[in-house]
Amino acid sequence: MTATAARHTPATRRLLRVGANLVGAGSAAVFSYSFLQYYIQTHRLIGIVFFAQQTLVALAYLIRRSARFVSRRLDDWLLAFAGTFMGVLFRPEGEHPTWGIWTGTVLQLAGVAIVATCILTLGRSFGFAAADRGLVTRGPYAIVRHPMYASYLLLDSGYLLQSLSARNVAVLVLGTLANAGRALAEERVLADNTASPTYRRRVRRRLIPGVW
């Protein structure tokens, strides 16, 4: 058996899949712990809300099913990393208007609610990079095709309103562009799914109802 064949045995693929799930769950757990510490130190509700969200993400990684197909394109994975982790580049600098703090908090709470709903709706179809774990069309996915990425836009916009600066605007723009590209990558991967054409005709918008 060649080295290439050995890398693609069922046992090897299973090991890689379990390892990827553990890495994803571990990363979410780190964020979950940091938000818990933030809540303990500040007693701000948003801290415990984000703690619950990241805990849910960690659990989703642990229970998700294996994919029928996962993109191996480097650009698809880079988009996934950028769209997910660009928010760590935000900084609490710039202007902090009272209206922005309150409005931003409302947007973030709405974003977390959508994230949680998406994860619960996806169930074992939860993923990271572009893959086919089955097409989910119910719940928020009956409104737009990629509600999870729409929720990231709300979360990032909420942070920007709380800390207005050129840096944070740039982070928001880059993160949103990454998630837009991520959405297109997922649709390319799902194009061979027999349910995809009907779903795309029924749900025409990707992130924002009536816009895109």
Q: What is the pLDDT along the chain (212 residues), one digit of tens a residue?
A: 444 444 567 777 778 778 888 888 888 899 889 989 988 998 888 888 889 889 999 999 998 888 888 899 999 999 999 999 898 899 989 999 999 999 999 999 999 999 999 999 999 899 889 999 989 999 999 999 999 999 999 999 999 999 999 999 999 999 999 999 999 999 999 998 999 999 999 999 999 998 99
Tokens standing for 196?
Answer: 């995809």
Q: Which class does domain 71-212 fall in? A: mainly alpha
Q: 164: helix, coil or strand?
A: strand
Which helix H or strand E contains 108, and what residues bound it?
A: helix 98-122
- Residues 119/126, Cβ–Cβ less than 8 Å: yes
192: Cβ contacts below 8 Å, ≥ 6 apart: 69, 132
Among 75, 60, 61, CA closest to 189: 75
pTM: 0.86
How many angstroms from the chain centroid is the CA of residue 13?
24
Residue 124, C-beta contacts closer than 8 angstroms, at least 6 positions apart: 63, 64, 65, 133
